[in-house]
């Protein structure tokens, strides 16, 4: 094992945040939603003075260097390294923020196949609660790392809970259709306020935040999951320790998917 010097606070303390974006034809899909996430995260974590235009330009230049025109772009921002003589958790007086970009090719056909429906499982690893960090895609992801090991074979994702209340998947937000309304778990104490989740809450008049446990599996007629890479996809079954709950595909789902995928302004 190679030994390397670690100085960046993102690695040492998880002092930073990230957003993961879908790139199609060299364009970032729904960039304004990601910019909102960056701004919200920076404000909550006290990353003052970030230059959004510079971050965007760095991302675009990075995309242009890739062989593929479709991909997954991860943008990570950290507080940088502590200055010489500064040790410990406290903020540096003049932090030098660092931006890290990574790229993975994207198979659009595999995403399209998910629109036929996916299976979820339930995991035992709970998600940590912290109101200060709730909603942010910060760098402390050990909950999700451990929970990902519990995703059953053939399942797209696994549902995480906090104090017996459903919160999210390890990589997705959840939605259950009950009494003509879509309900998504609140993320004011734990979980990530995903970009697609925010869009659904703002753009659709029948999507609401709520608090519920696994009893909703028996009450719900339809189920969805979302994230920035796969968009909005139907869940056709959820596997629990005791049973398997089946769901039909929401009849108006295609209309919602088209509204989300179609962007009038490209970036």
23-32: pLDDT as tens digits: 999 999 999 9
pLDDT tens digit sequence for 88-127 = 899 999 999 999 999 999 999 999 999 999 999 999 999 9
Which pair of structure tokens corresponds to residue 216? 């909703």
pLDDT, the chain, mean? 95
Which pair of structure tokens corresponds to residue 88? 């410990």
Q: What is the pLDDT of residue 192?
A: 97
Domain architecture of the chain: domains with CATH: 9-106 (3.30.470.10), 112-261 (3.20.10.10)
Residue 77 CA to residue 61 CA, distance in Å, equals 17
Residue 267 confidence class, pLDDT cut points 50, 70, 90: low
Regarding pTM above 0.85, the answer is: yes
231: pLDDT strictly greater than 70: yes
4: pLDDT strictly greater than 80: no
Mean pLDDT of 60-86: 94
Q: What is the pLDDT of residue 83?
A: 87
Q: What is the pLDDT of residue 72?
A: 98
Burial label for 91, CB within 10 Å (0-12, 13-18, 19+), is middle
Contact 175, 183 (CB under 8 A): yes
């Amino acid at each position: 094992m190679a030994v390397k010097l670690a100085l960046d606070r993102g690695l040492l303390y998880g002092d930073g945040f990230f957003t993961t974006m879908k790139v199609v034809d060299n364009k970032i899909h729904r960039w304004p939603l990601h910019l909102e996430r960056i701004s919200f995260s920076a404000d909550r974590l006290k990353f003052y003075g970030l230059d959004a235009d510079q971050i965007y330009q760095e991302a675009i230049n990075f995309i242009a260097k890739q062989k593929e025109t479709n991909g997954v772009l991860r943008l990570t921002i950290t507080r940088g390294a502590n200055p010489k003589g500064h040790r410990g958790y406290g903020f540096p007086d003049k932090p030098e923020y660092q931006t890290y970009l990574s790229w993975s090719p994207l198979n659009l056909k595999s995403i399209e196949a998910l629109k036929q429906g996916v299976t979820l499982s339930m995991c035992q690893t709970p998600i940590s609660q912290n109101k200060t960090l709730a909603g942010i895609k910060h760098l402390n992801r050990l909950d999700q790392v451990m929970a990902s090991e519990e995703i059953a074979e053939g399942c797209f994702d696994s549902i995480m809970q906090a104090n017996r209340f459903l919160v999210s998947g390890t990589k997705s937000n959840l939605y259950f259709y009950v009494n003509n309304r879509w309900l998504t778990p609140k993320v004011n104490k734990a979980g990530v306020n995903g970009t697609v989740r925010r869009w659904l809450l703002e753009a659709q008049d029948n999507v609401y935040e709520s608090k519920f446990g696994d009893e909703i599996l028996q009450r719900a007629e339809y189920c969805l999951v979302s994230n920035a890479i796969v968009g909005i996809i139907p869940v056709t079954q959820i596997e629990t320790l005791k049973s398997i709950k089946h769901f039909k595909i929401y009849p108006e789902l295609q209309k919602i998917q088209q509204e989300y995928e179609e962007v009038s302004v490209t970036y």
